Amino acid sequence: MMIALMAVYLTLLFAIVQLGIVRFNLFWKASPFIVLLLLNLGLFIPMGWGAPQGSALVVRNSVAIVPDVAGEVTDVPVTANEPLKSGDVLFKIDPTPYDAQVRAINAQLKLSDLRLSQMTQLYERDSGRRFDVEQRQSEVDQLRAQLDGAQWNLDKTIVRAPADGYVTNLALRKGARVANLPLSPVMAFIDTSNTIIGVEIAQINARYIAPGQEAELTFKFKPGQVYSGKVESVLQAIAPGQTQTSGTAVMPKEVQSAPFVVRVKLDDEDFARRLPAGSTGTAAIFTEHVKVSHIIRRVLLRQIAILNYVNPF
C-alpha cells in the first residue's frame, strides 16, 4: 500500500513538473522522502494499534472418549469425520454381565420387599419387633441403591456423543476390549458446537483492543473471501506469564514479547461451523483509534485474501 501511495505521489509530481506548475528545485527533489516519512509517522505506524493485524487460527475442543465401564465392543456404528448430533451412539459394549447384575439385584430386592412387608404386618399385630422392620428397611434401601448403580453401569454400555461434532482418526473396531481408564481413551471426538477463532496480536499493538470491536478475517481455506466478525475477548493470560506450584526456586529465563491472543466470533455462524479445525488466516481488528487507517487496513486485508489463491504460506 505504501508503494502504491508513493507511486501516485511520484506520478502527480512528474505531471506538475512537466506542466510547469512547479520548478523541480531541491525541495521537490527531496519531497518523496518527506512524504515517505510523513506516511510512516502519521499513518502506517499508528495503523499498527489503530487497526492491528495478526494471524488467525481455528481451534475446536477435543474430547477424549473414555467409557465408564469395561468390556468387549459389540458395535461401532459411527464413521470417521461424519457429522453427529449430541446423544448419537458412538459404540456399544457387551451388556451381558451388567444386565445379569441388574437382574440379580432386582431379584434380591423383590425378596427383601416381601420380607419387609411380612415383618411390617407382624409388627402391626404386635407379633414382631420394630428392630426387625428397620433392619429389613435398611436392606431394601441398600439394594435399591445397588440397583441404581447397576442400572447406571448397564446404561453406560452404550457410549453416546457428548455434543454436536464428529469422531476423527477412528481405529476402534468390533471385538476390541475397552477399559474405563482415564489414560486410555478409545477415540477422539471433535466438538463443533462452539468454534474458537484466536488471533495473535503483537503486544505493542494490543493496547486499544476491546470486546465488541469490528473485525474482518480471511482464511486460506476460502481464498479471495473476507468475513466480518466481532471481538469476543482478549485472553488475559499466555503461557510465558503462567507460574505453577513446584518445589524449586525461580528459574531465570529469557523474557520475550510473545503476542497476545484475541478471540473473535464470525457473524456468519454457518460458515464458522464448517471451518475445519486448524484453518489459518489473517485477521484485522478495527479499534476506536486512528480511524483514518481503517480503509488502508481493509484494502491490505483484501490483497492478502486474493494472494491466498497462490500463497500457500
Residue 177 Cα distances to 68, 103, 180, 192, angstroms: 13, 24, 10, 28
Give the DSSP H/E element, type plus range, for residue 102.
Answer: helix 96-124
pLDDT above 90 as % of the chain: 55
* Residues 230 and 171 occupy one common structural domain: no
Instruction: Provide the total of helices (H) and of strands (E) in the chain, helices listed first.
Output: 7, 13
pLDDT, position 120:
81
The range of the structural domain enclosing residue 109 comes to 64-190
Q: Summarize pLDDT for 108-165 with one digit per residue, the tens.
A: 988 888 887 878 877 777 767 777 777 888 888 899 999 999 999 999 999 999 999 9
Nearest CA-CA partner of 1 in 53, 42, 39: 39
CATH number at residue 90: 2.40.50.100
Last residue of a domain, one of 151, 173, 190: 190
Query: Do the domain assignments include residue 250?
Result: no
Based on the structure, what is the number of domains in the chain? 2
* Residues 126 and 142 occupy one common structural domain: yes
- Region 279-294 average pLDDT: 93
- Region 208-228 average pLDDT: 95
Query: Do the domain assignments include residue 214?
Result: yes
* Residues 80 and 159 occupy one common structural domain: yes
pTM of the model as a whole: 0.74
* Residues 105 and 6 occupy one common structural domain: no
Query: Do the domain assignments include residue 252?
Result: no
Q: What is the DSSP letter of 84?
A: B
* Residues 73 and 166 occupy one common structural domain: yes
* Residues 210 and 225 occupy one common structural domain: yes
Tell me phi and psi for residue 114, to 5 degrees.
Answer: -65, -45
CA distance 199 to 230: 12
* Residues 28 and 51 occupy one common structural domain: yes
* Residues 6 and 77 occupy one common structural domain: no
Last residue of a domain, one of 150, 175, 190: 190
Q: Cell for 197?
A: 477463532
CA distance 115 to 136: 7
Query: Do the domain assignments include residue 243?
Result: no
Q: Say yes or no to pLDDT of 5 above 70.
A: no
If DSSP codes are grouped into helix, strand and coil, which group holds residue 306? helix
Q: Say yes or no to pLDDT of 226 above 80.
A: yes
* Residues 119 and 199 occupy one common structural domain: no
CATH number at residue 298: 2.40.30.170
Query: Do the domain assignments include residue 247?
Result: no
Q: Summarize pLDDT for 43-100 with one digit per residue, the tens.
A: 778 888 999 999 999 999 999 999 999 999 999 999 999 999 999 999 999 999 999 9
Query: Do the domain assignments include residue 249?
Result: no
If DSSP codes are grouped into helix, strand and coil, which group holds residue 40? helix
* Residues 161 and 95 occupy one common structural domain: yes
pLDDT, position 262:
95
CA distance 31 to 96: 88
What would you report as the CA-atom Rg of the chain, rounded to the nearest whole angstrom?
34
* Residues 104 and 204 occupy one common structural domain: no
